Amino acid sequence: QQQVKQSPQSLIVQKGGISIINCAYENTAFDYFPWYQQFPGKGPALLIAIRPDVSEKKEGRFTISFNKSAKQFSLHIMDSQPGDSATYFCAATLTGSARQLTFGSGTQLTVLP
């Protein structure tokens, strides 16, 4: 019930391409869906987040698409750059609760120059 499933496990994209990472959740009570970016040896950093009352949120080259009926959400990175190479985690939480995050298993993105 609390799981968040993330795919793919790894992704290789050419510079300038589009990177797409998908997540699916089970708990329909989740109401906040952030994406985190993690570089080796660093802690996760919030990248972008969405609430289920909107179907899409865009910030620069990063876009979250949200499908409430399918219980799925995805991260799109447009014009991918080598500096985007990192591990990306989707997550979900209940804003009314203690705000602990349930994370996906991560996607290791490599953007080739």
Partner 1 sequence: NAGVMQNPRHLVRRRGQEARLRCSPMKGHSHVYWYRQLPEEGLKFMVYLQKENIIDESGMPKERFSAEFPKEGPSILRIQQVVRGDSAAYFCASSPLLTENTEAFFGQGTRLTVV
Positions in the binding site for partner 1 (CB under 8 A): 4, 6, 36, 41-46, 89, 95, 98-106
How is residue 94 written in tokens?
């209940």
Helix boundaries (H) for the chain:
none
For partner 1, the closer of residues 40 and 83 by Cβ is: 40
In the complex, what is the shortest distance from the CB of residue 35 to partner 1, in angstroms, rounded to a whole number? Answer: 12
**What is 84-100 written as a DSSP string?**
G-EEEEEEEB-TTTT-P
* Residue given tokens 């990472």 in the structure block: 21
For partner 1, the closer of residues 70 and 98 by Cβ is: 98
In the complex, what is the shortest distance from the CB of residue 77 to partner 1, in angstroms, rounded to a whole number? Answer: 19
Sign of CA dihedral 66, 67, 73, 75: negative
For partner 1, the closer of residues 44 and 64 by Cβ is: 44
